[in-house]
Structure 1
């Protein structure tokens, strides 16, 4: 389902110093939306954060993805444009909105605007509802399948900044690296007892390759180190048991041999009638 009509929504903000401001709900396509705004003083500037959100995330149909293209325009109370954000293309679905309630960005204003009335305008360029999970989509700079939205979104939410030093531009290579990363995460989340030494060896190689490409994956290194250490402890324990059993068998064999040798010695000396004592 596609809605080609451009939708504009405008609302007045009386005071940016308020902790959080939420717009009235408005309808676009089959869903109600809201704009969430808050500001924060940082480095002697007023950073204004604005997010487009689904008003009722429970209304998102399972298995459907909504792709929304939109941008924000900030105006002063006289209608003069203060800034215009870049157009964003973001995904809304039940998998993503369980964790990320909305998508947006921030722009900086002089501190004097903190108590001024300003106008925020949202321009929704296009809303497309997608059901083909094999289709590719750009997500935070990576081309991924819709079916990968949930694990990739979790990576960016739980480990912010892990791609800051990743500088590759080739889209195919970027997709390949992301697939390798997702496979590595899946491997390390397996039950520890099910991991083979081959899987651990491949995981170490993949981690080195991803790190050298610019990914910051300290948490995965910790996971891999813990799995490898626990696995080695198990190997050491097994090896220790084997050594202990081997020594026990050798001692038993030596004891049997010694008892036999003593019995033979007694026979040679004519003491075979003497009781054969068991050696402890």
Structure 2
């Protein structure tokens, strides 16, 4: 069940605690000019966390080259107090290659299953999505829709020039910052066609955005795609030695995260064993105390006589 309120909609996942399916979907909700739905992995997307994603539900009806820049906020509502709800946010481009985006590590499954945490209400889980579509590229052209053809909307008036690149208003600050920090980045850039220039700049911005993700959300597949994107922008003529170094740093951090996770898991397992041992020793100590107390009990008059 999905209930829409403006740019926000709620999804109540019935009997969440007993779901056996790998993936479940919410009812599509119309926001801006397309339909969106939530995708959940009740038992985790190969992790011990609830994995939760937003996706474009009616992408097949959108024109070639469509893109949507979205501010996404997902909330796992706590029944006891909204203040303690789990909230995660991101800004992402959705397009033909990225139909969905979200959070692989939304909330630990052990936390959801713990009744004391108060996330489940009679086994049901409530998810709230806030979807703010900030930029739109590619819409149905009403003048040609009746003829059965699709046409990408012309948004030329919405673009702004930054160092010879036509960029969207939402990208202006980022592109200006890039040229301020790396003024020679485009001195060898060869493309003259404005569409190609836009595509290359979007690749560059997407690559930077990928490197800004949290390590929890960043997958090995993301890093492989980042390598491909880096090669693309380098071949186009961008001087991005600085970005290549940052990518290497992120790869190193990802490897260290893997090592740290393994050591943390080992430490937690050892700690659990110690706690179990302590619990056993506590029980043994209480038993010995009882025996000692019984031994120390003095004889009564009637015991002696």
Q: TM-score, normalised by structure 1?
A: 0.47
- TM-score w.r.t. the length of structure 2 is 0.44
Q: Would you tell me which structure has more strand in proportion to its own residues?
A: 1
Which entry has the higher C-alpha Rg, 1 or 2? Answer: 1
Higher relative contact order (CA closer than 8 Å, sequence separation 6+):
1
